[in-house]
Every structure is written in C-alpha cells, then in structure tokens.
Structure 1
Amino acid sequence: MNVEKIIKTEKEIPLKPRTLIHLSLVCNKMNEITTAQLKPFDVSLQQFNVLRILRGQNGKPANLSTLNERMVTKMSNTTRLVDKLITKGFVDRVTCEKNRRKVDINITALGQKALLEMDNAMKTAEEEILKNLTEQDLIQMNNLLDKF
C-alpha cells in the first residue's frame, strides 16, 4: 500500500506522520473488508464483537459493563447494540427480580447459529486481509504492534 499514491500527493511525507497515516489507511481497509463480509447478516462489526463476547461467556450471562470492558472498540452505545441484537433474536435480556437494576444479557440459540456462519465469513475476510503476509511477517508485526 503506497500512502502517497492513495492520498494522491507527490510530496514525500515525513516518516512519523506517514506511519500514522499508513496505519489509519490499513485500519480503514480492514474495516471495509470485514464490514462487507458481515453485510449479509445485517450485523455491524461492533454487534459481531458483542456476540463473540457473549459466546465466550460459555453460557453465563454478561451485563453491559462486562460488554463495554471487553469490546475491541470502546463505545458508549452498547445498550443500543444489544437492543438491535435483541430485535434480530440473537440475544436476550433478563432483568433480575431481586435487583431491577441488574440486567443479564445472553446469546440465544439463533445467535449462536448465526455467529458460526459469521465466523466463516470473517475467516474469509482474515484470509483476504493477510494474504500477502507470511507467518514470520505476522509474528514481526505483532511484536512491533505490542510496542504501542
């Protein structure tokens, strides 16, 4: 990916800003590809993330706080994400009878089934995004990214 070509400049960009622009462009490209793979499921990347978190609970419910802590992209509208997943039948929400402020969120059987299909779509996205990188490249990239 040639940064200067993509942003249509002939001027050489200094290394530090070029690096940040490059990372931004790569992030945007990854989001485009993953969003396209999730489009048939009518699920956003953030909704997909919520479903994966709930699956990782292994049958134990989660609350909004747990979801917020574990989200890849931190956001304040987790309630709205959950509401959309409820509408699709992918999750359910149960209010505790003893403490009405406590709300448990669970992935449904339909959500589990849909998530398995989404996993396959995301595997396709992963292959497309990383197709030009070797395993050694990925190890080196992860080591560099860990420095952030």
Structure 2
Amino acid sequence: MSGRIQAELKQTKPVSSLEEEAYLNVQRTSNTLNQGIAELLRSHDLTQAQYNVLRILRGAGEGGLNASEIAGRMISRDPDVTRLVDRLEKRGLVDRWRCSEDRRVVWTRISQAGLDLINPIDAPLNELHRRLLSHMSQEKLQTLIELLEEARDGA
C-alpha cells in the first residue's frame, strides 16, 4: 500500500497490487459513509436493508413487486428477501397478497404506515448525503460516479 489506506489500516505489509489498494479504499469509504446512514435509520428503527426495500416499494407504486423484483433492485444484495419482507409485514409496513393467475407469486407493496415511516427520512438523509460529500466539487462527484460505474461493469 502506498496511499493513506495503509496508515488508516495500520498495515506494514504492502498489498500485492494497485487493484487491491483500490478495492480496500472502496470498502473503507463505503463503511465510513454508511456509518452515518445506519445511525439515522437506527433512530427510526430500520436497518439499511429494510429502508432499501421500503424505498423500492414506494417507487413501485400501488402495483407492488414480487420478491425477485425487489431483490434485483436492492443496493446491497440480501440472500433472503422473503424473510426481510416478513419482518416488514409483521410491523405493518408492507402489505402482501397472492397473484390470482399464479398462486406461487406473492406481491408486496408499501403500506401507509411504511410511507409514514420513510417519507420523513428523505430530508435528513439528503442532508446527510450533502454533508458527507459536499466537500467534493460537482466535477469530482461526476468523475467518482463514472469510475464506480466502470468498476461495477468489470465485476
């Protein structure tokens, strides 16, 4: 490691490649940025995965989505979306019903209680995003977005 990450991780052994150093930086940055978001959501009794599902369902509208569609739209993959949705349903934050054409398919939509819970989070979350990243210029943010998209394309 030649950059700051080596000091932050208190590592004396160098990494084997520039790619590994970049990966460690992405992971460390993700963790750092997520800490504030996790705290904000915790104050609303939500995990990041639960909030992500509720936002996805809010965007889907009245028609809702099935579990595989929810899973495909999640920021961080969750291996058991069904169990995650079960917990949200027990709290009254989502409604579920079976498809009339195919009883194996279960549709899920956000309930009014779910909307009442997440809508007030929008403004503080947007402010948190600004606070976390506003020290970077618009050009640097755009470059960062493009670089991260390119990194995902290679994965």
TM-score, length basis structure 1: 0.88
Is 2:46 aligned against 1:35?
Answer: no
Sequence identity (%):
28
Higher RCO by CA contacts (8 Å cutoff, separation 6 or greater): 1
Choose the corresponding residue for 1:23, options 26, 31, 34.
26
Alignment of 1:1-148 (within 5 A): 2-9=4-11, 15-97=18-100, 99-148=102-151
1:100-133 Cα offsets, whole Å, 9 max, x none, are 3221111111111211112223213212321321
Which residue identity is paired with 1:127?
A: R
Deviates further, 81-90 or 124-133: 124-133
1:51-92 Cα offsets, whole Å, 9 max, x none, are 111111121121101101111112221011111111221101
The answer (yes or no) to whether the contact 2:49–2:78 under 8 Å persists in 1 is: no
Paired residues in the alignment total 148
TM-score, length basis structure 2: 0.85
* Aligned residues: CA RMSD: 2.0
Which residue identity is paired with 2:4?
A: N
DSSP 3-state at the match of 1:41: coil
Which residue identity is paired with 2:131?
A: E
Which residue identity is paired with 2:9?
A: I
